[in-house]
Structure 1
């Protein structure tokens, strides 16, 4: 007697296929969700890293703005026993005001802190590619650690200072003779944003210019920094407290030059970080408040993260070191 054999009926096969499709669809949904979450997490991690690095660099230099070694007074050309020839600086960055090059002159107040909101890509004579609408800032100071006479480099600039006397000199010039003075390397720094092309994308980059071997040189220091904005805390009555914060575009020559006993004693810093690459599955309809400025991006495909901090300029408050 022959044994009969049975397979799956058509209905059973269809039911199995439907169940299989549901299982595959569920797996694909989970995979897609994990992939999207991973992409967002990676993007936010990169934004955090780049933004915090930019804030750290700018904060460090602003904290040391106005540091001139052991000088017992604020910096001005009248406080120096000698000054180097300013014509020696190649590609010098000259900001607003009558005395705002790398090296102090004998004309007017020497600005060790200055900023501008560019209306063109050339806000200073040394910059041709600035991002319009993002602030440019200029900082001048001595470095934190003194050097020995034997460590002086011929093409660099230095501040030699004691509590009583000070001088600025180039390493190739004779070292000023000041009793009890130390030698501090001199820094002139400029920060701004420019747009670069990376992998077919237009990527905003934080640029740093620094006085190095007698030349202002510029290098990118971190990608994905889209906007800088500064507001300056002004003490108008010499009581050591901020009376008002004024955005870069509203700062006057009198405020930059500390006229009428006013001082810049704090800076509010805003840094807007942007993802380097677009995410076509993401639409940015957020608005970002950078002090008095509101930025929107009309639903583009870049994630962004806003950082802000307030920096007290302690060197503007002290009489001596």
Structure 2
């Protein structure tokens, strides 16, 4: 009788199972480590891209406004008498706002927290930039806000025949500024003493104050480039509102290009005299109020009115810290008023940073100075 042999099946031994589990755990740990490293690398790349984009956008935003500084349509503010003192950037009284119009660009070098009443949370030691101009488009057209949005409105007279608008008799008659569009009555070239002519279109008058704040929102610790904008409140009065612009902008330092003559010649007639103005910058200084040995308000105003270019220096950082990184680098942001490099000491924290620089010409101001 044939008997079928009995086959005994064998399983894995405990040692074999432990070896297999150990190898699997090693592979799993390696894959997890690779995944974590790839995730961190992706996060760092995205953070770096965001930082670069924020820095570029910050420069672009500032540069666009700086290029338009002093734009008042067909009106030339060079005919206006300079203020005897430096204008208050935070002024909301119409008389003071009108008086500040001849100074299209103004700034504070290494500002302190209490220098300007209309901004808050200023990062001490950073610069403040003030731009005055009108909108390049008319209210309600293209991308311009309608008149109903309020604000200060500007109207330049093109009439040279009517004594009530004759600039030669009183430069202040050549333009008007009001919080109500209906209150502006300056006329075009077709006016005369006997014919009122057509009214000139109005443009929204802008005062923009750029500064670096310590926080984007309350106590979030994210330095942010912000802008205070002159407009009207619910009661129709002039007031400033603050707009956050770009997160991660940690420092703003500016140098202003002054259209001045050779200092040796200027010294013979006083530093306030803009000799042989040609629309190009002869010197750069972070504080025009003291440039060329300026010692009084009249000289400071004259220097600010001679600005034709601005050097931008922005320091941008990541929004979140980077694990395992320490920023031990120092950064040079232009020059101090003394001419020495403006060096920002190393923060020794975990945020990565980049410097962004740009030279911005102001054609409206430079073109009016060409002799």
TM-score, scaled relative to structure 1: 0.80
User: What is residue 183 of structure 2 aligned with on the other side?
Assistant: 174
Identify if the C-alpha distance between structure 1 residues 23 and 46 changes in structure 2 by more than 3 Å, giving closer, same or farther: same
Structure richer in strand, relative to its length: 1
User: Taking structure 1 as reference, are residues 102 and 262 closer, same or farther at Cα in structure 2, changes over 3 Å only?
Assistant: closer
145, 148, 161: which is aligned to 2:156?
161
Query: How far is the alpha carbon of 1:113 from its aligned partner?
Result: 1.0
Could you tell me which residue of structure 1 aligns to residue 281 of structure 2?
A: 242
Work out the CA distance in 2 between the residues paired with 1:145 and 1:25: 62
| Greater displacement, 290-299 / 12-21 | 12-21
Match of 2:6 in 1: 2
Q: CA deviation at 1:22?
A: 3.0
2:119 touches 2:242 (CA, 8 Å); kept in 1?
no
The answer (yes or no) to whether the contact 1:162–1:182 under 8 Å persists in 2 is no
Deviations 1:111-162 (A, max 9, x none): 22111134531121323421101111111111112459xx756963233225
Q: 1:183 aligned to 2:202? A: yes
Aligned partner of 2:269 in structure 1 is none
SS at match of 1:43: helix
Residue 280 (structure 2) pairs with residue 231 (structure 1): no
Rounded to whole Å, the distance in 1 between the matches of 2:351 and 2:58 is 19
Match of 2:70 in 1: 66
Helix, strand or coil for the counterpart of 1:236? Answer: coil
Unaligned runs of 5+ in 2: 141-145, 161-166, 168-173, 190-199, 233-237, 262-276, 292-296, 336-341
- Do the aligned partners of residues 183 and 302 (structure 1) sit closer, same or farther apart at CA in structure 2, a change above 3 Å counting? same
8 Å Cα contact 1:69/1:182 also seen in 2:
no
Cα distance in 2, alignment partners of residues 196 and 133 from structure 1: 15
Kindly indicate whether the alpha-carbon contact (under 8 Å) linking 1:116 and 1:249 is maintained by their aligned counterparts in 2: no
Relative to structure 1, the CA distance from residue 101 to residue 301 in structure 2 (aligned partners, 3 Å threshold; closer, same or farther) is farther
Total equivalences in the alignment: 300
Structure 1's 147 and 25: CA in aligned 2 closer, same or farther, altered over 3 A?
closer
Q: With the length of structure 2 as denominator, give the TM-score of the two structures.
A: 0.70
Please name the residue that 1:53 is paired with.
Answer: 57
CA contact (8 A) 1:113 1:256 kept: no
Partner of 2:352: 303
User: For residues 248 and 38 of structure 1, what CA distance do their matches in structure 2 show?
Assistant: 42
Over residues 242-281 of structure 1, what are the superposed CA-to-partner deviations in whole Å (9 max), with x where a residue is unaligned?
Answer: 222212487545675235x982111111122222222333
Distance 2:148 2:21 in 1: 79
Contact 2:69–2:131 under 8 Å retained in 1: yes
Classify the secondary structure of the residue corresponding to 2:27. Answer: helix
CA distance in 2, matches of 1:286, 1:154: 46
- Compute the RMSD of aligned alpha carbons: 3.4
Q: Bigger radius of gyration, 1 or 2?
A: 2
Distance 1:298 1:206, change over 3 A: closer
In the alignment, is the contact (CA less than 8 A) between 1:94 and 1:124 conserved in 2? no
1:22–1:120 Cα change, 3 Å: same
Asked whether the 8 Å contact 1:66–1:75 carries over to 2, the reply is: no
* Corresponding position: 1:271 with 2:314: yes
Confirm or deny that 1:123 pairs with 2:142: no
